[in-house]
């Protein structure tokens, strides 16, 4: 009898514990945006045609009004929804944000409820001190002409910037928090971040002065024990590095992912349940096996707010683990999404401040649009125009006497104009600024013919530049490259105005200060001598556009074999 009473009591105790503990699982939705670049307004984006997937349709996608609408719908469906950033929220922004030092974008992300953002390389465009201002607020900017013009004060980001692999060179200590744990319903979700270790090769030296960028995998994995001690129920990695896939962004669980993110994904601690990525401006939703051999979601949402990465996770809070996960890329179709009223007001305020400059017509094109898409030889129509504009600005003897211009395609941020149709063929200052938003300084240097060849060979042995490896060249400069030849021996027939380049002769070359400092891995350019600074790239571009009707040159300057 006594034993029976003990059993009954034990059963009642277990039942009581179950009632106190409640359900052990919680459904959590994580929505992420990568490479937003201050695009407060929607831009053109191509999506698969549902009626025929061999074709595409162009929609206006992105913009904070539509992003706000999607977030509102997600939060209504599941209050346990968290919004995160995967880097490059600011920098290389269109005029509506860039002219106001990206403060409207920070304000929008605050209003949208962003919980955390891993830094991307562009968060360092204006230096670490300015990034700290973005975090803490205030008007003490290194560009006082633009700071605190959106509002009289600037409160800074309400969300933390994180990265496990950014180190203060002076102290040897982390420059930023490695992770952020967010309470989402009854679950603790940890977001641990890293920016590409090659950031110093894609940002001006001044932007990363005093900082060291360590290996992404080692840095994230080193943070996992501390995250576990904090009682995290789930861990999501936010990695501002990416890859490319042969599958469309809406193909689920693709197996075609290539690029730097693959090795990162293969080696991140198995405690990481999913990896949200950025940097390469591609849309993919893939699976990559981790070190335990189990497939893990690796996702990216194109760029500019066109897509939102979405993870729907079921989390067991007693076992501290994710039991199910479903990943998707959500098209931010501006025409089909309810607008967020607060974002509409913010956008209108930014437009009111910038439209008088942005809407100024500066040129008429000979065509409806000049595109930045590269042909198989590596050239783009817009790349030729920009290289020609820089040569025109630096050719006078008083400006450096340049005879050749090189332009990095990664610095060409949009087509000209951004959106079509454009029946008037007109271009505004806002269009030009969106194409060339960095405010880089044209720099003329002296290189030997041998150094020019060495720089051209670096295009083909240059992981830092990624897919944007082939420099755009100015009119009169030509060369051939052979894809079948070995690295270091691909380039031949280098000519200027039809005459072979002399390896021993000196040539004056104009490029932006980013390239002149060895950016994108072009270390040969940093060897240039007799350096002379000149106009801003946007000013040279505008002057070239206003000089007459611009029709893109279709003559091949770079010849590809094999």
Q: Is the dihedral of CA 76, 81, 86, 90 positive or negative?
A: positive
- Whether 522 has a pLDDT exceeding 70, the answer reads yes
Q: Which tens digit of pLDDT belongs to each residue from 45-59?
A: 999 999 999 999 999
Q: Which tens digit of pLDDT belongs to each residue from 345-390?
A: 999 999 999 999 999 999 999 999 999 999 999 999 999 999 999 9
Q: What percent of the chain has pLDDT over 70?
A: 95
Helix 216-229 vs helix 260-267: angle between axes, to the nearest 10 degrees? 30
- Whether 508 has a pLDDT exceeding 60, the answer reads yes
- Whether 497 has a pLDDT exceeding 60, the answer reads yes
SS3 235: strand
Helix 341-358 vs helix 103-111: angle between axes, to the nearest 10 degrees? 170
- Whether 222 has a pLDDT exceeding 90, the answer reads yes
Q: Which of 90-104, 112-126, 152-166, 407-421 has the lowest mean pLDDT?
A: 407-421
Mean pLDDT of 14-30: 68
Identify which of 546, 433, 411, 428 has the alpha carbon closest to the alpha carbon of residue 146. Answer: 433
Q: Cα(92)–Cα(102) distance, rounded to whole angstroms?
A: 10
Mean pLDDT (the chain) is 93
Strands ordered across the beta sheet of 477-482: 499-500, 491-496, 477-482, 558-561
Which is more confidently placed, 143 or 23?
143
- Whether 425 has a pLDDT exceeding 70, the answer reads yes
Q: What is the pTM of this model?
A: 0.86
Task: Spell out the domains of the chain, with CATH numbers in brackets.
Answer: 32-347 (3.60.21.10), 360-561 (3.90.780.10)
Q: Which tens digit of pLDDT belongs to each residue from 436-494?
A: 998 888 999 999 999 999 999 999 987 665 555 899 999 999 999 999 999 999 999 99
CB contact set of 7 (below 8 Å; sequence gap of 6+) = none
What are the C-alpha distances in Å from 199 to residues 207, 407, 464, 521? 10, 19, 9, 10
Q: Cα(299)–Cα(206) distance, rounded to whole angstroms?
A: 31
Mean pLDDT of 501-510: 98
Per DSSP bridges, beta strands 499-500 and 472-473 are: unpaired
């Amino acid at each position: 009898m006594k034993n029976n009473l003990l059993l009954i009591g034990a059963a009642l105790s277990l039942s009581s514990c179950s009632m106190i503990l409640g359900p052990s699982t919680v459904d959590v939705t994580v929505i992420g945006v990568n490479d937003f670049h201050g695009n407060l307004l929607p831009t053109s984006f191509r999506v698969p045609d549902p009626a025929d997937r061999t074709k595409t349709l162009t929609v206006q996608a992105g913009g904070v009004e539509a992003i706000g609408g999607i977030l509102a719908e997600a939060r209504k469906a599941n209050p346990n929804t968290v919004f995160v950033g995967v880097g490059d929220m600011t920098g290389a922004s269109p005029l509506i944000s860039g002219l106001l030092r990206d403060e409207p974008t920070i304000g929008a992300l605050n209003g949208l409820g962003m919980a955390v953002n891993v830094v991307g390389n562009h968060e360092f465009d204006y230096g670490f001190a300015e990034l700290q201002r973005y975090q803490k607020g205030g008007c003490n900017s290194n560009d006082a002409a633009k700071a605190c013009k959106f509002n009289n004060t600037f409160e800074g980001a309400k969300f933390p910037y994180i990265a496990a692999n950014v180190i203060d060179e002076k102290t040897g200590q982390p420059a930023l928090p490695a992770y952020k744990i967010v309470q989402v319903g009854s679950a603790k979700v940890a977001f641990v971040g890293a920016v590409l270790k090659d950031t110093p090769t894609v940002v001006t030296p001044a932007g990363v002065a005093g900082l060291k960028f360590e290996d992404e995998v080692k840095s994230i994995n080193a943070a996992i024990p501390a995250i576990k001690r904090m009682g995290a129920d789930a861990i999501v990695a936010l990695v501002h590095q990416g890859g490319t896939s042969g599958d469309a962004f809406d193909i689920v669980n693709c197996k075609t992912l290539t690029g730097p993110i693959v090795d990162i994904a293969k080696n991140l601690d198995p405690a990481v349940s999913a990896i949200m990525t950025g940097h390469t401006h591609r849309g993919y939703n893939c699976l990559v096996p981790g070190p335990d051999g189990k497939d893990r979601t690796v996702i990216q949402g194109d760029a500019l707010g066109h897509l939102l990465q979405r993870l729907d996770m079921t989390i067991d809070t007693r076992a501290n683990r994710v039991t199910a996960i479903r990943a998707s890329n959500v098209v931010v179709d501006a025409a089909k999404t309810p607008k967020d009223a607060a974002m509409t007001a913010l956008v209108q305020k930014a437009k009111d401040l910038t439209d008088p400059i942005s809407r100024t017509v500066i040129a008429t094109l000979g065509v409806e649009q000049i595109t930045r898409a590269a042909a198989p030889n590596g050239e783009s129509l817009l790349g030729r125009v920009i290289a020609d504009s820089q040569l025109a600005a630096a050719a006078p003897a008083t400006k450096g006497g340049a005879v050749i211009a090189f332009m990095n395609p990664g610095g060409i941020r949009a087509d000209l104009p951004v959106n079509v149709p454009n029946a008037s063929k007109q271009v505004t200052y806002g269009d030009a600024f969106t194409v060339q938003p960095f405010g880089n300084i044209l720099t003329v240097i002296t290189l030997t013919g041998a150094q020019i060849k060495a720089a051209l060979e670096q295009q083909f042995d240059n992981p830092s530049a990624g897919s944007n490896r082939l420099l755009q060249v100015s009119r009169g400069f030509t060369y051939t490259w052979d894809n079948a030849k070995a690295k270091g021996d691909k380039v031949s027939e280098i000519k200027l105005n039809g005459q072979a380049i002399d390896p021993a002769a000196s040539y004056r070359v104009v490029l932006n200060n980013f390239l002149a400092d060895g950016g994108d891995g072009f270390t040969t350019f940093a060897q240039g001598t007799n350096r002379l600074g000149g106009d801003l790239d946007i000013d040279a571009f505008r002057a070239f556009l206003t000089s007459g009707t611009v029709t893109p040159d279709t003559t091949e300057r770079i010849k590809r074999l094999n």
